[in-house]
Amino acid sequence: MLDLSWSRSMSIYRFLEDLSASCLISKRFGTPQDGGWDVCLAAPYALKSGCLVYSFGIGGEWSFDDQIASAMGCTVKSFDPTVKVEKLKHGPNVHMYEIGLGGKDEVNSRGWKIYSLPSLMEVMGDSEKILDYLKIDIEWSEYESFDTILTSNVVSHIKQIGLEVHSNDSNNYYPAWELVSKMEDHGFRVWAVEHNYATPFHDIPNMNIRGLFCCSNVYFINERFLDEFTTQKQNVEATEGMQQISSDADLKSAEDAFARFIEMQRPDLCIQSSLQGHHLNWDVCLSKGILKQNSCRFCLYTKAGMHSLLSEQISLFARKNLNCTTKGNQVK
């Protein structure tokens, strides 16, 4: 386990809050408190009847599972090895299993049946299906689970993820930072983060410092699915506020007009945006998706044995805002 200084941990925490995407249409399903989860409903992430949801971690709260099934017509498969599911009352489209999620298939020391996500989707007959929403709240097992998920083909089948990441004290943000970084490398973009304010750390003298808490719900969209929204028609239907686009307009002029209309309505919406691949829907903005990956290289030199909050912030800015590859060097 890395022993990070408190200031360095704060810098890593800020990394988690540095969003890489926006979702203008979203809804919370389930309780407004801990146990409910946000879902991006902007195309192409909008949920349609027949959508498939996997929910890991039921505990004593499954209002998310019930509501997203009833309101959106999703089939929800809920998993938790710690509860007796036959005693739980739930909606007809919610199917519960006493199974846990992990990095490998096993029966663990507690007698729980554990599957990796690729294996479980195969067992459930869903290996070729699109997973519209993946919710994971499994108390520290998320790290080993994603070691397997991110090295399998299943990443291309997941549209969006609601994930709770855990840290047990202020010196242990590194696993969460590493996991989010790996997920970004595999095409997932963070559009929202919320923190568990009910369980603060106990090693910080100032308990009012925002963000030093045990758990955070991190919401991802998979940018692979943006490519699915490429226009197929030769014209664009006129909608409210867009009557100036005629039904016989050619594709390029119609889309350009639509883009101008959106920019007039919300000029400050996304400072880094462009019409890429002729996507008509601008509800999702990948604010970091324009610059090419590794478009610059940034070297940080620090004195051996010392950690600087300023240097961490500069490095963070270069990586997150300029999409640089950063390299740390220590000098005597």
Task: Tell me, yes or no, whether 185 and 323 share the same domain.
Answer: no
At residue 175, the pLDDT reads: 79
Structural domain tally of the chain? 2
Task: Tell me, yes or no, whether 306 and 198 share the same domain.
Answer: no
137 inside domain? yes
DSSP state of 115: E
Q: Among 165, 192, 227, which residue terminates a domain?
A: 227
234 inside domain? no
Q: Among 171, 206, 227, which residue terminates a domain?
A: 227
290 inside domain? no
Task: Tell me, yes or no, whether 223 and 305 share the same domain.
Answer: no
Output b/e per residue, 217-240; b: 16+ Cβ within 10 A: bbbbbbbebbeebebeeeebeeee
Task: Tell me, yes or no, whether 199 and 324 share the same domain.
Answer: no
Q: Among 227, 257, 275, which residue terminates a domain?
A: 227
Question: Which three-class secondary structure state does DSSP give residue 126?
Answer: coil
242 inside domain? no
253 inside domain? no
Find the CATH number of the domain harbouring 23.
3.40.50.150
At residue 240, the pLDDT reads: 40
At residue 171, the pLDDT reads: 54
Task: Tell me, yes or no, whether 214 and 319 share the same domain.
Answer: no
At residue 174, the pLDDT reads: 74
- What are all long-range contacts of 209-212, with beta carbons under 8 Å and residues at least 24 apart? 209/10, 211/10, 211/13, 211/14, 211/17, 212/9, 212/10, 212/13, 212/170
Task: Tell me, yes or no, whether 74 and 202 share the same domain.
Answer: yes
Task: Tell me, yes or no, whether 114 and 27 share the same domain.
Answer: yes
Task: Tell me, yes or no, whether 91 and 210 share the same domain.
Answer: yes
Task: Tell me, yes or no, whether 206 and 321 share the same domain.
Answer: no
Task: Tell me, yes or no, whether 198 and 309 share the same domain.
Answer: no
Residue 323 sits in which domain range? 297-331
260 inside domain? no
User: In tens digits, what is the pLDDT along the chain, a chain of 332 residues?
Assistant: 444 445 555 555 667 677 888 887 899 999 988 889 999 998 789 999 999 999 999 888 899 999 999 999 999 999 999 988 887 878 899 999 999 999 999 999 889 999 999 999 999 999 999 999 999 998 778 889 999 999 999 999 999 999 988 776 555 667 778 888 899 999 999 999 887 765 554 444 444 444 455 678 899 999 888 754 443 333 333 334 344 444 555 656 666 665 555 444 444 445 444 333 333 444 455 554 433 444 555 555 555 555 555 566 566 666 665 556 655 544 44
Task: Tell me, yes or no, whether 163 and 312 share the same domain.
Answer: no
At residue 323, the pLDDT reads: 58
Task: Tell me, yes or no, whether 205 and 77 share the same domain.
Answer: yes
278 inside domain? no
At residue 297, the pLDDT reads: 54
240 inside domain? no
What is the 3-state secondary structure of 198-220? Answer: CCECCCCCCCCCCCCECEEEEEE
Burial class (CB in 10 A: 0-12, 13-18, 19+), 261: middle
